[in-house]
Amino acid sequence: MDVERFFWTEHAEMRLGQRRLEAADVEQAIKDGHLDREVNDGRAQWLIGGVTPDGVSFEAIYDHPHGGDEHAVRIVSVWRLDS
């Protein structure tokens, strides 16, 4: 099943700016890695990792499905792995 719709929490949108990450990179990582996602132990169901086009590693946590829609995710937070 393909992820087609993304809903961002206010917290996640704030973290994008603080951590100099682009929404499109996070969304692409979720699309590419959704089938290989890991269970998250914290505030969201799933954890995914990705790398920006300029080589910055990051992780994001998200809920799926969102609102009963199997094609939608709710992104809860995102952070860089390079300190």
Torsional sign, CA 5, 28, 32, 14 = negative
Alpha helices for the chain (secondary structure H): 10-18, 23-33
Q: How confident is the model at residue 15 (pLDDT cuts 50, 70, 90)?
A: very high
Give the count of domains, the chain. 1
Give the pLDDT of residue 83: 56
* CA 24 and chain centroid, separation: 10
Q: Report whether pLDDT(1) > 80.
A: no
Residue-range definition of the domain harbouring residue 36:
5-80
Q: Report whether pLDDT(80) > 90.
A: yes
* Beta carbons of 63 and 30 less than 8 angstroms apart: no
Mean pLDDT of the chain: 96
For residues 50-69, give the mean pLDDT.
97
* SS3 state of residue 68: coil
Q: Which CATH number does the domain housing residue 29 bear?
A: 3.30.2310
